[in-house]
Amino acid sequence: MASIIFTAKDIFDQDFKREVRGYSKDEVNEFLDDVIKDYETYAALVKELREENTRLREEIAKKSQATPQETPIASTATQEFPQVTTATNFDILKRLNRLEKEVFGKQIVDRDF
């Protein structure tokens, strides 16, 4: 997992050397102010999601410790659902062919030959 290098304060306190043909200091400061706002927003979002993750893990741990008679819904929470697979055109044509044979029976078999 990647670690965070800069805090919002690090970005705010960053000072650059001045050169004759450098960037406009005001533009750089405005941009960095926006970066700081975004950074603080991301930091708050990460904190919120970590807290929610911890809370949900605790709920799952509590439900798994309860007996099945106490929480009949707990068994459905861990139930796996079948994976959805994408069918290719060839798969669909094969299924249609089988379906036609079931529905029309001998008529299709005689017509094919």
Residues 51-99: tens digit of each pLDDT: 999 999 999 998 888 755 555 554 555 555 555 556 677 777 778 777 7
Radius of gyration of the chain, Cα coordinates, nearest whole angstrom: 31
What percent of the chain has a predicted confidence (pLDDT) above 90?
A: 13
Tokens for 31? Answer: 């941009």
Q: What does the alpha-carbon distance between residue 54 and residue 2 come to, in Å, rounded to a whole number?
A: 20
